[in-house]
Chains A and B, each alone.
Chain A
């Protein structure tokens, strides 16, 4: 028997004919892709026994933009703009994965100041990504006011993005060979003010949620992800750390000088939605710590590699040097070529391991670029977390998995 009924809310109900535990039939429903709590366009095919979730099958691809294919048609330095756009909540971290991969293939290392600026931008991005997560998760579970607080601070981070790169979201600030430009004095003023205020703001979020009985009731014991399961499905980021495994690429496989900073890997043994919330809150505090250290110890010097074959010459040289003009012309008509070979570089984004695999055939465009996105892999754990929970808990579970659909579908 199959009855199809569109409820007018984008939900199609089919009665599958299977028997549930209480004698009723299992209902198969579409959860999304236009459901507001699915963070974009995630579609789940859910089997329900009454209110209990019996099966979750994610159907993805609704935000597939072909970014990997597009990058094959762009020159190496142009590809950066695509990396901004797949995980749209952490553009500089994706820039960094791509830039590090290209640099590894070319065998160049960026100067210390560029490395520190990259760390600063990565940590600011992690903060802004966690703030969006916290605000939207709050709304989904009925804590409406958290979003206003979170977006207030996120906006100051956007202001800093604008100051340093000219763009609020898709900064393209970190590029192969260094960064776009050195940070301005005003950027450091904004950052210093932000660092003074942020610990107090994180306390505010905690005041709103950590001991809030409704928040605790909706998250404690919900969406259990056992450590061994987290490992099997390849979960990373706060998902695996919320299951008590201290796995953070900034610690275990440091890049861009992260080994020089003193910070803790936030973990929690709770394995549930509340544990993942606490991990993210702790990570925000650690990010503030890293930022303070990075600003304190920011080395002087250039912010780009001194390689005219890879980066354009300074503007003033163009007026006096013929060679500079030739380099400039070659770079913007043909681009540079990267030696044949392939490389995989993984960085820790707000969601986990965001890696970039590049295969080069020695030409001025990549042969293949692949993004290993944390959201895509973390989504695999969804069914195991959601089984036997209520539909309303499914919303909390999707929320704390913190998937960005642009990152899942690329």
Chain B
């Protein structure tokens, strides 16, 4: 089982078990959980808690690793909180081919952040599109 000192918080949300681990020790925690039987990463995602007043958040970005033990039929959500610009997490250090997955490689900005406007991006191959491709710092 995962060492207690790695877990900074734990609980149950709407029936789903979760734990929070310290971001710098995420790799260690996930390795221990994999050893423990949680061998399937169901999904990896991130929630941006910018201006989220529903409760106190340790940092702006919450990373989520939904793990599953297919033998014992149990799920566990591992949370890690990161801040900074750009925010960095241990689990991608040393990744051989870190790249954008869905957005084009030359896209400026991160659309799933809360400060990125919905409908803010002009239609591609239109005149406005050229101005959008200029980073805000250079515009």
Q: Which of B54-79 contact A (CB under 8 A)?
A: 54-55, 62, 64, 66, 70, 73, 75, 77
Q: How far is the CB of A58 from chain B (nearest CB, A)?
A: 10
Interface string of A369-399 (1 = CB under 8 A from B): 0101000000000000000000000000000
B52 within 8 A of A: yes
Beta-carbon contact of B42 and A355 below 8 Å: yes
Chain A residues in 8 Å Cβ range of B75: 344
Min CB–CB distance B120 → chain A (angstroms): 10
Of B39, B43, B70, B112, which is in contact with the most chain A CB atoms at under 10 Å from its CB? B43
Q: Residue of B at shortest CB range from A341? A: B13
CB distance from A232 to the nearest CB of B (A): 8
Flag if A353 contacts B42 (CB, 8 Å): yes
**A60 and B66 contact, Cβ closer than 8 Å, known pairs A73-B118, A355-B42:** no
Task: Say what secondary structure dominates the interface of chain B.
Answer: loop
Which of A357, A359, A360 contacts B66 (CB under 8 A)? Answer: A357
Least CB distance, B39 to chain A, in whole angstroms: 7
> Residue B40 at the A interface, CB < 8 A?
yes
Q: Are B52's CB and A372's CB within 8 A?
A: no
Instruction: Give the distance to chain B from A308, nearest Cβ to Cβ, in Å.
Output: 22
At the interface, yes or no: A275 with Cβ under 8 Å from chain B? no
Q: Does A34 contact B (CB under 8 A)?
A: no
- In the assembly, what is the distance between CA of A353 and CA of B42, in Å? 9
Residue of B nearest to A103 (CB): B14
Is the Cβ of A247 less than 8 Å from the Cβ of B70? yes
A68 to B40, CA, bound (A): 23
Return chain B residues, CB-CB under 8 Å to A234.
40-42
Evaluate contact between A64 and B102: CB separation under 8 angstroms: yes
B70 → chain A closest CB, angstroms = 7
* B101 is an interface residue with CB less than 8 A from chain A: yes
Q: Which residues of B contact A107 (CB under 8 A)?
A: 14
Q: Give CA–CA (A410, B70) in the complex, Å.
A: 26
Given A340-B55, A344-B16, A357-B66: A368 and B43 interface contact (C-beta under 8 Å): no
A361 to B40, CA, bound (A): 28
Decide if A72 touches B13 in the complex (CB within 8 Å).
no
B43 pairs with A343, CB closer than 8 A? no
The CA of A344 and the CA of B64, in the complex, are separated in Å by: 11
A362 at the interface (CB under 8 A from B): yes
* Residue among A247, A355, A357 having the largest count of chain B Cβ atoms under 10 Å: A357
**A361 near B54 (CB under 8 angstroms)?**
yes
Let me know if A364 is at the binding interface, CB within 8 A: no
Least CB distance, B20 to chain A, in whole angstroms: 12
Cα A69 to Cα B102 with chains together (Å): 13
Q: Given known contacts A73-B118, A247-B70, A340-B54, is B102 in contact with A357 (CB within 8 Å)?
A: no
In B1-31, which residues have CB < 8 Å from any A CB?
A: 13-16
Contacts of B49 in A (CB 8 A): 361, 367
Answer whether residue B133 sits at the interface, using C-beta atoms and an 8 A cutoff. no
B16 and A409 contact, CB distance less than 8 A: no
Q: Flag if B43 contacts A372 (CB, 8 Å).
A: yes
A357 CB → nearest B CB, Å: 6
Known A343-B13, A370-B43; further 13 A-B contacts with Cβ < 8 A: A69-B118, A340-B55, A342-B64, A343-B16, A344-B66, A346-B42, A355-B42, A357-B45, A357-B64, A359-B62, A361-B53, A362-B54, A368-B112
Chain A interface residues (CB < 8 Å from chain B): 60-61, 64, 66, 68-70, 72-73, 104-105, 107, 231, 234, 247, 252-253, 340-344, 346, 353, 355, 357, 359-363, 367-368, 370, 372, 409-410
Pull 27 A–B residue pairs with CB atoms less than 8 Å apart, ordered by A: A61-B103, A61-B104, A64-B103, A66-B111, A69-B111, A70-B118, A73-B118, A105-B14, A231-B39, A231-B70, A247-B70, A253-B73, A340-B54, A341-B13, A342-B16, A342-B47, A342-B64, A343-B16, A344-B42, A344-B66, A344-B77, A355-B42, A361-B49, A367-B49, A368-B45, A370-B45, A372-B43
The 7 lowest CB-CB distance pairs between A and B, nearest first, are A343-B14, A372-B43, A340-B54, A361-B54, A61-B102, A368-B47, A73-B118
Binding site for A on B (CB under 8 A): 13-16, 39-43, 45, 47-49, 52-55, 62, 64, 66, 70, 73, 75, 77, 100-104, 111-112, 114, 116, 118
